[in-house]
């Protein structure tokens, strides 16, 4: 079985996001870029499944310009067998991303697709669900536990009401949550080895996918700032303050 893992290049989660003064986007100059943390967890899970002997090959896929090869190389250094970059200069929206993944799936015929539950830039949380719908295969989102058993997989999903268990037949699309695993650290020799692993580049046009029904973003604004608060000296003052404001 092959496992396909989606990897998105995003601003590192530790970077403080700043909206550009002309409202055209967020500041990316000189900003550290990383693999979307949820995608890293997806890749880690794929590697563990392969290491358990339940899959033969792990393929990492990213959509973007040449700069996303950096994240694909990190994925290869973590242990993926090969990488595919779908080359595009456009900032693609989830529907187009899902359609593009479907084209890659038709070519590679994976038994499992693992994606992050959301990207920490757009916070959309859409691609996995859209892909499952277009592929007409089961979806399991926000997954924090996975057990492969032959032709199906039992997953635990983190939902608002608690932990939900469902069983899906393979092939399936699974979007992963934070507590599924802790991704491994990349070792220096693996970074060297990753340079020799295959990285295929396919132009988006070659796949016959064109963006459609795009949402248009007209303006980026910084979030509203909360008014400066007060400091109290002790618990008694705190409780008095809460009572005065009618909060307790």
- Which residues in 126-155 contact other proteins (CB under 8 A)? 126-134, 137-142, 144, 154
The three-state secondary structure class of 203 is strand
H or E segment at 97?
Answer: helix 94-108
* Residue nearer to other proteins on the CB measure, 9 or 73: 9
User: Considering only residues 71, 74, 118, 181, which one is a binding residue for other proteins as defined by CB under 8 A?
Assistant: 118
Q: Does 168 bind other proteins (CB under 8 A)?
A: yes
Candidate segments 83-91, 124-132, 185-193, 201-209, binder of other proteins by CB under 8 A: 124-132
- Residues between 52 and 71 that touch other proteins (CB under 8 A): none
Please state the closest distance from residue 50 (CB atom) to other proteins, in A. Answer: 23
How far, in Å, CA of 179 to CA of 32, rounded? Answer: 24
* Residue nearer to other proteins on the CB measure, 69 or 96: 96
Please state the closest distance from residue 241 (CB atom) to other proteins, in A. Answer: 6
Q: Does 214 bind other proteins (CB under 8 A)?
A: yes
Q: Does 117 bind other proteins (CB under 8 A)?
A: yes
* Residue nearer to other proteins on the CB measure, 203 or 239: 239
- Residues between 65 and 104 that touch other proteins (CB under 8 A): 93-95, 98
How far, in Å, CA of 111 to CA of 49, rounded? Answer: 12
Q: Does 26 bind other proteins (CB under 8 A)?
A: yes
Is-contact 39 60, C-beta < 8 A?
no
Compute the chain's Rg from CA coordinates. Answer: 21
What DSSP assignment string belongs to 160-193? TTEEEEEEEESSEEEEE-GGG--PPPPPHHHHHH
How far, in Å, CA of 144 to CA of 166, rounded? Answer: 12
H or E segment at 61?
Answer: strand 57-64
* Residue nearer to other proteins on the CB measure, 35 or 199: 35
């Amino acid at each position: 079985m092959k496992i396909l893992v989606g990897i998105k290049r995003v601003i590192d989660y530790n970077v403080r996001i700043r909206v550009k003064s002309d409202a055209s986007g967020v500041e990316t100059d000189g900003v550290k870029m990383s693999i979307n943390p949820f995608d890293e967890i997806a890749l880690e899970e794929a590697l563990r499944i392969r290491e358990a002997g339940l899959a033969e090959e792990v393929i990492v896929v990213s959509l973007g310009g040449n700069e996303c090869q950096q994240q694909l190389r990190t994925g290869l250094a973590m242990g993926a067998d090969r990488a595919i970059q779908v080359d595009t200069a456009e900032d693609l929206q989830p529907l187009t991303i899902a359609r593009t993944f479907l084209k890659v799936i038709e070519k590679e015929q994976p038994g499992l697709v693992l994606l992050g539950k959301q990207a920490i830039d757009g916070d959309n949380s859409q691609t996995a669900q859209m892909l499952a719908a277009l592929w007409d295969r089961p979806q399991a989102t926000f997954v924090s536990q996975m057990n492969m058993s032959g032709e199906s997989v039992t997953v635990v999903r983190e939902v608002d009401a608690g932990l939900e268990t469902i069983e899906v037949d393979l092939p399936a699309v699974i979007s992963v949550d934070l507590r599924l695993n802790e991704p491994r650290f990349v070792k220096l020799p693996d970074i060297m080895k990753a340079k020799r692993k295959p990285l295929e580049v396919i132009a988006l046009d070659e796949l016959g996918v064109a963006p459609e029904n795009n949402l248009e973003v007209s303006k980026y604004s910084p979030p509203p700032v909360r008014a400066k608060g007060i400091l109290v000296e002790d618990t008694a003052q705190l409780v008095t303050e809460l009572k005065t404001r009618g909060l307790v």
